[in-house]
C-alpha cells in the first residue's frame, strides 16, 4: 500500500511539482479543505441540540366563545309597566362583561313591535346618576365604545312613544345587541316586558243660550245687560274608547253666577256645593258601549259694570278625573273657563259681550 502511494507521489512530482510549485500549493490547499470538512462533519454528527417539537405537534389552545353563555350579560328594568304613553317609560339597562376579553363597538337597538305605538324619542334620563363616558345615542340606538373584562355599566333611558291607533293598549318590544370580541361579531336579541297603556277620556264643557237644534234654552236679555239676569245652560260631556271607574267632573261658579237647580242628566248624579260654589258631576262607570255621557244644568248670570264690553265668566276651575280599569291609573285633566262668548253655540257664538243698560 505504501509502495503504491510512494509511486503515485513520485509520478506526480515528476509530472507536476518539478515543473511548477503552483501545483504543490493547490494540492496542499485541497487536502486542508478536505480535512476541515471532515472535522465539521464529525462535530455536526456529535452535536445533540435541545429541540422541542411541542409547538408543532400540540398548538396552544385558543379561547372560544360559548354562544350559550355569551360574554355580554345584558338585563333591564322599567320603572313601571303601567304607563301614560304621553309620558313614556324609564328603561334601565345593565351591561356586564363576563369574559376575559375586551368587548368593543357595542350597539344596542331599541325596537317596537306594537302596531298601535311607535317609538318617538330615545334620550338619556334625568335619573341617570353614573357616568355616560363612551356612550352615545343615535336615533333609537345606544352605542358604547368598549367594556373591559369583568366590568359593568348602567344607563337610564327615557323612551317616548307615538300613538298610531286605538287597536291595542299593549306595547311590546325588544333590544337587539351587537358587539365584537376576539375579532368576531356577536348578535343577540332580548325581549322586553309588556307595557300596559292608560286610555284617554274626551271631555267637554260648553255653555249655550240656544241649542244646536235651534231651541232657546236661556232666558233674559242676550247679549247680557248689566244688572239684568240672563240664564244659560252648561253641558258636561264625556266620551271614551275604554272602561273607566269613578268619573268625576267639577267646576266653580263666579260670585255673580248662580245655580238655578234645573238640570238634565243622561248618566250619573249632579250635586252643588253652595259653600264652595262648585258643581260636581259623578258617574260610577264610563264605558264606550254606552255612547256619550252628558249632564246639563242651568245657571243665571247677573253682569256687573266691570263686565261691560267683555265676555263674562260663567264657570272656572273645570277639572275631571277617573280611574282607567285596564291599568289602574288615574286619568285627569283641566278645561278652560266658560264665558258668554258661547263658542259652541252656533247661533250666538261671539255675540255675548256685556252691554251697558244706559247705552241702549
pLDDT at position 333, please? 96
Q: What is the pLDDT along the chain (360 residues), one digit of tens a residue?
A: 666 656 665 666 666 666 666 666 776 776 777 778 777 777 776 766 655 545 545 554 555 665 567 899 999 999 999 999 999 999 999 999 999 999 999 999 999 999 999 999 999 998 887 788 999 999 999 999 999 999 999 999 999 999 999 889 999 999 999 999 988 999 999 999 999 999 999 999 999 999 999 999 999 999 999 999 999 999 999 999 999 999 999 999 999 999 999 999 989 999 999 999 999 999 999 999 888 899 999 999 999 999 999 999 999 999 999 999 999 999 999 999 999 999 999 999 999 999 998 776
pLDDT at position 15, please? 61
pLDDT at position 360, please? 63
To which H or E segment does residue 203 belong? Answer: strand 201-208
| Half-sphere exposure in the Cβ direction for 356 (13 Å, CA) | 6
pLDDT at position 173, please? 95
CA distance 198 to 326: 7
Question: Dihedral through CA 166, CA 167, CA 172, CA 178, nearest 10?
Answer: -90
pLDDT at position 47, please? 65
pLDDT at position 56, please? 45
Question: Dihedral through CA 300, CA 304, CA 308, CA 314, nearest 10?
Answer: -30
CA distance 182 to 167: 46
E strands, 50-200, in order: 72-78, 82-83, 89-97, 103-112, 117-124, 135-138, 141-147, 152-163, 170-171, 173-181, 184-191, 195-197
| Half-sphere exposure in the Cβ direction for 229 (13 Å, CA) | 10
Check: CB of residue 205 under 8 Å from CB of residue 335. yes
Amino acid at each position: 500500500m505504501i509502495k503504491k502511494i510512494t509511486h503515485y507521489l513520485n509520478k506526480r512530482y515528476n509530472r507536476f511539482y518539478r515543473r511548477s510549485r503552483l501545483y504543490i500549493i493547490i494540492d496542499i490547499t485541497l487536502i486542508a479543505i478536505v480535512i476541515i470538512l471532515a472535522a465539521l462533519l464529525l462535530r455536526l454528527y456529535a452535536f445533540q441540540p435541545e429541540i422541542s417539537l411541542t409547538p408543532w405537534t400540540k398548538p396552544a389552545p385558543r379561547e372560544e366563545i360559548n354562544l350559550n353563555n355569551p360574554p355580554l350579560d345584558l338585563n333591564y328594568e322599567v320603572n313601571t309597566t303601567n304607563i301614560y304613553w304621553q309620558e313614556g317609560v324609564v328603561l334601565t339597562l345593565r351591561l356586564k362583561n363576563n369574559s376575559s376579553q375586551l368587548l368593543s363597538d357595542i350597539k344596542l337597538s331599541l325596537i317596537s313591535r306594537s302596531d298601535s305605538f311607535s317609538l318617538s324619542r330615545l334620550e338619556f334620563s334625568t335619573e341617570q346618576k353614573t357616568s355616560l363616558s363612551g356612550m352615545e345615542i343615535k336615533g333609537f340606538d345606544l352605542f358604547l365604545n368598549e367594556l373591559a373584562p369583568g366590568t359593568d355599566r348602567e344607563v337610564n333611558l327615557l323612551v317616548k312613544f307615538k300613538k298610531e291607533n286605538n287597536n291595542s293598549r299593549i306595547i311590546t318590544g325588544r333590544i337587539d345587541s351587537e358587539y365584537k370580541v376576539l375579532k368576531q361579531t356577536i348578535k343577540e336579541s332580548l325581549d322586553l316586558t309588556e307595557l300596559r297603556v292608560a286610555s284617554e277620556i274626551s271631555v267637554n264643557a260648553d255653555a249655550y243660550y240656544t241649542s244646536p237644534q235651534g231651541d232657546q234654552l236661556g232666558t233674559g236679555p242676550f247679549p247680557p245687560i248689566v244688572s239684568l239676569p240672563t240664564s244659560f245652560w252648561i253641558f258636561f260631556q264625556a266620551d271614551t274608547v275604554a272602561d273607566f271607574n269613578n268619573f268625576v267632573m267639577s267646576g266653580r261658579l263666579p260670585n255673580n253666577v248662580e245655580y238655578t237647580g234645573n238640570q238634565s242628566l243622561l248618566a250619573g248624579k249632579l250635586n252643588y256645593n253652595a259653600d264652595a260654589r262648585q258643581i260636581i258631576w259623578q258617574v260610577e262607570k264610563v264605558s264606550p258601549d254606552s255612547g256619550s255621557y252628558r249632564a246639563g244644568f242651568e245657571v243665571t248670570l247677573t253682569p256687573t259694570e266691570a263686565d261691560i264690553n267683555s265676555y263674562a265668566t260663567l264657570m272656572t276651575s273645570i277639572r275631571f278625573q277617573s280611574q282607567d280599569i285596564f291599568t289602574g291609573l288615574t286619568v285627569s285633566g283641566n278645561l278652560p273657563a266658560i264665558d258668554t262668548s258661547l263658542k259652541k253655540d252656533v247661533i250666538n257664538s261671539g255675540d255675548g259681550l256685556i252691554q251697558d243698560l244706559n247705552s241702549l
